[in-house]
Amino acid sequence: GAVVSQHPSWVICKSGTSVKIECRSLDFQATTMFWYRQFPKQSLMLMATSNEGSKATYEQGVEKDKFLINHASLTLSTLTVTSAHPEDSSFYICSAGWGETQYFGPGTRLLVL
């Protein structure tokens, strides 16, 4: 139980384009989902908390107009990186809360050329 999926697992895009990443909880409902970013050999950096049916809460320093988050249902949250630039290249990981525990997706590797 408590399986979280992400799609796509890999994406390469040109600078200036937008990229959408999906996060789904497959066997449970999650009122809260989280989006993280991870740089090589570093720990997870929380970007935002996504609540079903309401606006996401962004961490300090994260541009909400650049990283659009939508949590339209209890099993789906999406992260859209708008007007992506090479510095947005990173490993993006989502998680879904079930009880007290967060369960993580497998991650999405984004490369912006």
Residues forming the site for another protein (CB under 8 A): 2, 4, 6, 31-32, 34, 42-44, 46, 49, 57, 91, 93, 95, 97, 100-107, 109
CB of 44 or CB of 74, closer to another protein: 44
CB of 14 or CB of 100, closer to another protein: 100
Q: Report the amino acid identity of residue 71.
A: H
Provide the token pair at 85. 């630039």
Q: What's the Cα-to-Cα distance from 73 to each of 6, 10, 37, rounded to whole Å?
A: 15, 24, 22
CB of 14 or CB of 99, closer to another protein: 99
In the complex, the smallest distance separating the C-beta of residue 66 from another protein, rounded to whole angstroms, is 21
CB of 12 or CB of 16, closer to another protein: 12
- Helix ranges (H only) for the chain are none
DSSP state for residue 59 in the 8-state scheme:
P
Phi, psi of 106 (to 5 degrees): -80, -10
In the complex, the smallest distance separating the C-beta of residue 101 from another protein, rounded to whole angstroms, is 6
Rounded CA-CA distance 11/33 in Å is 21
In the complex, the smallest distance separating the C-beta of residue 53 from another protein, rounded to whole angstroms, is 14
